[in-house]
């Protein structure tokens, strides 16, 4: 129960920051959009079932879409990373993911290199899909590549800064 | 049959993934049809309510700028008041009025509704503005939205108390415009690069354009009142392939700071639509 409550609070906070802080920042360039909300899916505990994870991904995406006024765009990208996440964790970690209990992906629980790889791959995947869908509606190839690189760098920077500030506890007790 | 169930069981997560993907993508690509219905209504109200609360705090910080803009507009409006001008003395002249009907009497074509902007964005490729006024207050889709300085966009979706506006800063936004000085029918769109500038295309090279020329809404539009400022020409490029200019236009409205808007209702819209539909039928 406490785990559920904690994650609901976290989701509300992350969404608030995305919508009312990051979205209000004056744009530096066409390519730079500070996406941060998807980090919620990356930080969910290891033990969550795959079907539940997919559903959470869809819900997170839809709620975000409500504020971006793009029904389905962010939901599609979130469902994709929610689907890939368990495979990636199994690949990066020696142990079975089910043994990890309530712990969640962090530098402490995974180690610096696996955690970094995990962040980079899922961030790139999320942005790749998101911008691909946008590119199909308008834009050029340069737009696609430029936005993918710039946006991913900004997102990774934001996640790194947050990780430095928040000392996320690996265990819930 | 057993194998089918085994297959379904084995790949249940993958199938669930495909279902959710399909749901999301179908929503995305059937945007216009879908968002008129349940999702649009629900999300407009929920997201709108939250936006309203945050906006209450935010608008406090821009009070002085808003005040200034409104004072400026007030000054313009005051100069139109009848008390501001003097009627020439005609009482000693005797004029026999032979016309039974007052043919000079004007009737009203546009009605303005005041609306507060509760959510706005400039950094996306498809920027929308949410207004705190909806179908309960007489708003329907396709109405024009103008600010104190000029044109803002078009209403595309309406719920009970909120409405969503496609701002000029939207990749799919297209507005017919003319140059205030030399006419020349053109089209204003946005290339998604810089929220301060719009693109004006289709102005023929035969027309002389100078930097700083005002771009206004065209008199042929059935949505926008004619002569509303859209922007000011900033940079003039010759399009090599065609016989037209590519003009970079600075927006008249400061989209970063806009807080209030007026929704414009064309009172002759129905009549115009009816007339047009009879022509198209033939």
Taking residues B8-27, what's their average pLDDT? 86
With respect to residue A173, please indicate whether it lies within any of the assigned structural domains.
no
pLDDT of B221 reads 81
Split into its structural domains, chain B has a count of 1
Among candidates B249, B157, B243, B258, which has minimal Cα distance to B205?
B243
With respect to residue A161, please indicate whether it lies within any of the assigned structural domains.
yes
CA B242/CA B186 separation, integer angstroms: 14
Q: Which residues of B touch A137 (CB under 8 A)?
A: 171
**Looking at the predicted structure, is the pLDDT value of residue B83 above 70?**
no
With respect to residue B236, please indicate whether it lies within any of the assigned structural domains.
yes
Domain hosting B191: range is 175-251
With respect to residue B65, please indicate whether it lies within any of the assigned structural domains.
no
Residues 102-141 of B with CB under 8 A from A: 119, 121-126, 128
pLDDT digits (tens, 9 = 90+) for A31-55: 888 899 999 999 988 888 889 999 9
Residues 237-276 of B with CB under 8 A from A: 256
Q: What is the CATH number of the domain that holds B247?
A: 2.40.10.350
With respect to residue B215, please indicate whether it lies within any of the assigned structural domains.
yes
With respect to residue B111, please indicate whether it lies within any of the assigned structural domains.
no
pLDDT of B27 reads 81
With respect to residue B69, please indicate whether it lies within any of the assigned structural domains.
no
Q: How far is A132 from chain B (nearest CA, A)?
A: 12
**B12 to chain A: closest CA residue:** A51
Report phi then psi at B116, rounded to 5. Answer: -95, 140
Split into its structural domains, chain A has a count of 1
With respect to residue B187, please indicate whether it lies within any of the assigned structural domains.
yes
pLDDT digits (tens, 9 = 90+) for B92-138: 666 776 766 666 667 778 888 888 888 888 888 888 898 888 888 88
Strand duo B144-146 + B260-266: pairing: antiparallel
With respect to residue B220, please indicate whether it lies within any of the assigned structural domains.
yes
With respect to residue B233, please indicate whether it lies within any of the assigned structural domains.
yes
CA A100/CA A110 separation, integer angstroms: 10
Who contacts B104 (Cβ-Cβ below 8 Å, separation ≥6)?
none
DSSP designation for A24: G
ipTM of the complex: 0.81
């Amino acid at each position: 129960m406490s785990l559920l409550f904690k994650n609901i609070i976290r989701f509300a906070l992350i969404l608030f920051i995305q919508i009312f802080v990051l979205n209000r920042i004056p744009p530096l360039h066409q390519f730079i959009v500070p996406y941060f909300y998807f980090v919620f899916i990356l930080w969910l505990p290891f033990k969550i079932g795959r079907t539940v994870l997919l559903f959470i991904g869809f819900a997170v995406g839809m709620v975000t879409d409500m504020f971006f006024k793009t029904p389905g765009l962010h939901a599609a990208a979130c469902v994709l990373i929610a689907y890939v996440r368990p495979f990636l964790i199994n690949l990066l970690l020696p142990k079975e993911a089910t043994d990890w209990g309530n712990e969640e992906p962090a530098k402490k629980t995974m180690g610096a290199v696996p955690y970094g790889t995990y962040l980079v791959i899922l961030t790139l995947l999320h942005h790749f899909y998101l911008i691909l869908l946008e590119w199909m509606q308008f834009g050029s190839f340069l737009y696609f590549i430029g936005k993918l690189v710039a946006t991913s760098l900004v997102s990774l920077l934001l996640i790194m800064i947050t990780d430095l500030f928040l000392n996320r506890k690996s265990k819930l007790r | 049959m057993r194998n089918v169930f085994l297959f379904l069981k084995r790949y249940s997560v993958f199938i669930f993934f495909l279902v959710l993907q399909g749901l999301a993508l179908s929503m995305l690509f059937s945007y216009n049809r879908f968002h008129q219905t349940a999702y649009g209504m629900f999300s407009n109200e929920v997201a709108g309510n939250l936006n309203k609360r945050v906006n209450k705090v935010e608008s406090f910080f821009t009070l002085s700028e808003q005040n200034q803009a409104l004072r400026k507009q007030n000054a313009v409006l005051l100069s139109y008041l009848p008390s501001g001008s003097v009627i020439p003395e005609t009482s000693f002249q005797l004029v026999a009025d032979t016309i039974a009907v007052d043919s000079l009497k004007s009737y009203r074509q546009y009605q303005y509704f005041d609306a507060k902007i509760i959510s706005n964005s400039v950094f996306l490729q498809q920027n929308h503005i949410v207004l705190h006024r909806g179908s309960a207050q007489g708003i329907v889709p396709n109405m024009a939205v103008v600010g104190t300085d000029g044109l803002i966009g078009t209403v595309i979706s309406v719920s009970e108390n909120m409405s969503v506006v496609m701002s000029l800063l939207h990749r799919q936004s297209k507005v017919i415009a003319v140059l205030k000085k030399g006419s020349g029918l053109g089209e204003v769109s946005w290339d998604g690069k810089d929220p301060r500038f719009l693109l004006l295309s289709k102005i023929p090279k035969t027309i002389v354009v100078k930097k700083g020329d005002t771009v206004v809404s065209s008199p042929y539009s059935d949505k926008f009142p004619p002569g509303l400022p859209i922007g000011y020409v900033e940079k003039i490029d010759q399009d090599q392939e065609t016989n037209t200019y590519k003009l970079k236009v600075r927006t008249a409205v400061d989209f970063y700071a806009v807080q209030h808007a007026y929704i414009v209702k064309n009172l002759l819209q129905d009549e115009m639509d009816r007339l047009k539909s009879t022509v198209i039928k033939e």
